[in-house]
Amino acid sequence: MNLPDMQSAKSRNKERVEFIYSTPIVNNEFNGKKYFIRTYGCQMNVHDSEEIAGLLENIGFESVESEEVADIIILNTCAIRENAHDKVFGFLGRCKHLKELKPDIKIIVCGCMAQEKSVVDEIMSKHKYIDLVFGTHNIHELPNYLMNLTGGLNIEVKSNEGNVFEIGENFKRDSKYVAWVNIMYGCDKFCTYCIVPYTRGKERSRKSKDILKEVECLKMKGYKEVTLLGQNVNAYGNDLEDDLNFAALLEAVAKTGIERIRFVTSHPWNFTDEMIDIIAKYDNIMPYIHLPLQSGSDRILKLMGRRYTKAEYLSLYEKLKSKIKNVAITTDIIVGFPNETEEDFNETLSVVEECKYDGAFTFIYSPREGTPAAKMEDSIPMNVKEERLQKLNEIVNKYSNMNNQKYLNTKQKVLLVGTSEKDNNKLYGYTETMKLVNVDCDKNLVGNIVDVTITEAKSFSLDGIVE
């Protein structure tokens, strides 16, 4: 077993791209076998699950909607907060029960939790019914692992010294209209609270020509939208010699002519003017930016290792608002970082009042083993943190609703992506600014960008009609 070390990995990615276009394996061992994947966590994990599904279907597996009827159950896990851990082990309890009834079922754990030494130790001591654990750096090896599974617990967790694996179009994408495109892996920012640099390794960018080829291919297949994925897309290309930076990559993707381009996440630090100009210049780069604040207090931002001050954040925010027409901005905020005072918290509220975000994901700080913040003493009781979260959410929701009200009776371009979960007679889709709209229209319009008149605005969604 090779667990990743918890050291900062600063060496750079050289020519270490490996192309792994899996040829269908001539082996009918898995033909017709059923797989079920449960995915936790961020877009990166969602996209990794698309890769896992693609790899499994290449070797004969078929997907099923319930773990009860599956031959293999895969849990693609997230380690960002403690509750993610609890959810996974809760679901594993159910899997264990299933395995008692059907001993041939294989239970597999992968994703960010698999990169945590403490989790692997816990599995080895208390969850021996699990068949395979593999990490975030060797997903492409899953077919081999399955073919070579021995009885008992198999652990295949690796660190990554800089490889980028190109797997071609071996994804089973969830949508026919919108696609995730990895542009880089890992994170070198080491924010003091965050586990991601340890679970995903150091920053490794894909070559721009491989990214552009993927976007061209998606466009040819009829995809309308791509979202470029990275933990901090601003850092794209820093580890490559003679390749594009993020602004230039964005421009090159815009020039492919694909109808909609989005990207997540941009760190407020090193969000360059060049990037802003490119976003403003191209109509197919969507006016929507997720700009995590985390805290509005300079003291806490410093303890978090975020590399910007409240004033710098606000000045970037103003620049984005003034240069990009109708831009919508959302954010992430953590409350209850160790020893966050009432004054620190009020600084956060003041930024929220000033920015009037379109939306925000808000979290109570959760200590993650192995991160610097987990060693900081913390005298703030949980009930105080909960009260702060509630107060913050009230303000966030107020502005989210206020921003949505501005859409009432306007016409918006909406990419319709599927049938609305709440009302099967409606389709749902997203405005250019990433507002969710439930639309009363002909179901055949799915997959199209249509003009929608907004008839109702709620806090978290809009309703509309096609005239």
- Residue 196 or 335: the one with the smaller Cβ distance to ligand F3S is 196
Q: Judged by CB under 6 A, does residue 369 bind ligand SAH?
A: no
- Residue 196 C-beta: closest distance to ligand F3S, Å: 5
Minimum distance, C-beta of residue 127 to ligand SAH, in the bound complex (Å): 24
β-pairing, 449-457 with 154-156? unpaired
The DSSP string of 28-42 is -TTTT-EEEEEE-SS
Q: Say which entry of ligand SAH, ligand F3S, ligand SF4, none residue 366 contacts (CB below 5 to 8 A, set by partner kind).
A: ligand SAH
> Footprint of ligand F3S on this chain (CB under 6 A)?
41-42, 44-45, 78-80, 111-112, 195-196, 199-200
| Contact partner, 363, from ligand SF4, ligand SAH, ligand F3S, none, Cβ < 5-8 Å per class | ligand SAH
Residue 71 contact, options ligand SF4, ligand SAH, ligand F3S, none, Cβ 5-8 Å cut-off depending on partner type: none
Considering the rule CB under 6 A, would residue 332 count as an interface residue with ligand SAH?
A: yes
Q: Residue 229 or residue 285: which is nearer to ligand SAH going by CB?
A: 229
Q: Round to whole Å and give the CA distance between 131 and 409.
A: 55
Q: Are strands 462-465 and 449-457 parallel, antiparallel or unpaired?
A: antiparallel
Residues in the chain: 467
Whole-angstrom Cα Rg for the chain: 23
Q: How far is the CB of 304 from ligand SF4 (least distance, A)?
A: 8
Q: Whole-angstrom Cα distance, residue 13 to residue 17?
A: 9
Nearer residue to ligand SAH within complex by CB, 231 or 245: 231
With tokens 């994901």, the residue in question is 361
For residue 365, state whether it binds ligand SAH (rule: CB under 6 A). Answer: yes
Q: Does 234 bind ligand SAH (CB under 6 A)?
A: no
The tokens for 180 are 């995730």
Q: Can you give the binding site for ligand SF4, defined by CB under 6 A?
A: 187, 189-191, 194, 196-197, 231-232, 267
Among 294, 400, 404, 438, interactor with ligand SAH by CB under 6 A? 294
- Pairing relation of β-strands 34-39 and 72-77? parallel
Q: Does 363 engage in binding with ligand SAH (CB under 6 A)?
A: yes
Residue 448 CA to residue 431 CA, distance in Å, equals 12
Instruction: Decide whether 44 or 130 has the Cβ nearer to ligand F3S.
Output: 44
CA pair distance 359, 280, nearest whole angstrom: 21
Q: Please give the Cα distance from 68 to 142 (Å, whole number).
A: 22
Distance of alpha carbon 244 from alpha carbon 265, whole angstroms? 18
Nearest residue to 135 via CA among 164, 118, 152, 112: 112
Q: Which residues bind ligand SAH (CB under 6 A)?
A: 80-81, 193-194, 196, 231-232, 265, 267, 292, 294, 332, 334, 363, 365-366, 368
